[in-house]
Amino acid sequence: MAAPAGRTPRGRVEMAESPLPMKPPAAPMEVIDLDTEVSQLRAQHAWQSHGQSAKTLVKHEHFGWC
């Protein structure tokens, strides 16, 4: 009998290994100064030309603060 997708015949879940290097665990909480972020976005050419600008803030072991 075939095992369900993602499981070995003995019921263990198989995990894919990331090709990216592991970083130290992130702090449990990060503080983001939104006033500073807004100021930086409004200083960009896109905001000044079109009134729109964006920045994605991500906390993940493989991504730094963007």
pTM: 0.46
Each residue of 2-55: pLDDT tens digit?
A: 545 555 566 666 777 777 777 766 667 778 899 999 999 999 999 999 999 898
CB-hemisphere CA count at 13 Å for 48?
5
Task: Please state, rounded to an integer, the average pLDDT across all residues of the chain.
Answer: 75
Residue 38 neighbours by CB under 8 Å, 6+ apart: none
pLDDT at 49: 93
Q: Are 61 and 21 in contact (CB under 8 A)?
A: no
